Amino acid sequence: MDFKKVDEIIARHRGKAEEKIPPLIPILQDIQDEYGWLPEQAFVKTSRQLDIPLVNLYGVATFYNEFRLKPIGNYHISVCMGTACHVQGAPRILSELERKLEIADGEITPDEKYSLETSSCFGCCAIAPAIMVNGEYHGKMDKKKVDELLENIEQEKEDEKVKQNG
Ligand code: FES
């Protein structure tokens, strides 16, 4: 993995920071946007460049739910476990995804195609129970819709392969 982008991100924030120390949270957010998660090497670089102890950086990253300390798959699926989704069947949706993908909450498939996590309220309770795939909402989910969604993803991947092979 190439970590030059971490230097660029820190330099960019240094450039616009009025304070002496660039803002840590936006830096971590940008690193996560770049890599999809926060790799250890990115922490080491950030720690050295900002002269902040590694333990403090991990402290910040583990305090906020939005930060991921593990890699995510090509298709990252979040299941909302907020109250509205929970009462509308989110635990069943999660079980179905865990069964189909053969991974548990917080895990990634061995081929790194899929990762699964649970989340607090997405803010779209009207379509509960909701899930998100790579940032796109899917609402009123049930087992059948989970199956269809995964089939569509697999079909998309097949279509891409055919396109690539000409
Ligand atoms: S509780 Fe799931 S979107 Fe609000």
- The pLDDT score that the predictor gives to residue 16 is 66
- The pLDDT score that the predictor gives to residue 1 is 78
Residue closest to 78 by CA, chosen among 41, 139, 130: 130
Mean pLDDT, range 7-23, rounded to an integer: 78
Residue nearest to atom 1 of ligand 1 (CA): 82
- The pLDDT score that the predictor gives to residue 45 is 94
- The pLDDT score that the predictor gives to residue 19 is 60
Rounded to the nearest angstrom, the distance between the alpha carbon of 116 and the centre of ligand 1 is: 17
- The pLDDT score that the predictor gives to residue 160 is 79
List all residues whose CB is within 6 A of at least one atom of ligand 1. 80, 82-85, 121-122, 124-125, 128, 130
Tokens, residue 29:
């957010």
For the segment 28-48, what is each residue's pLDDT rounded down to a tens digit? 999 999 998 999 999 999 999
- The pLDDT score that the predictor gives to residue 14 is 85
What is d(CA 118, CA 12) in angstroms, rounded to the nearest whole number?
32
Full-model pTM: 0.78
- CATH fold of 75-164, please? Glutaredoxin (3.40.30)
Mean pLDDT, range 91-111, rounded to an integer: 96
Amino acid, res. 135:
G
Residue 129: asked if its preceding bond is cis (omega within 30°), the reply is yes
Atom of ligand 1 nearest to the CA of 129: 2
- The pLDDT score that the predictor gives to residue 90 is 98
Atom of ligand 1 nearest to the CA of 127: 3
For the segment 118-158, what is each residue's pLDDT rounded down to a tens digit? 999 999 999 999 999 999 999 999 999 999 999 999 998 78
Q: Alpha helix locations (H) across the chain?
A: 4-16, 24-35, 40-50, 54-63, 83-87, 90-101, 143-164
- For residue 115, the surrounding DSSP H or E stretch is strand 114-119
Mean pLDDT, range 89-98, rounded to an integer: 98
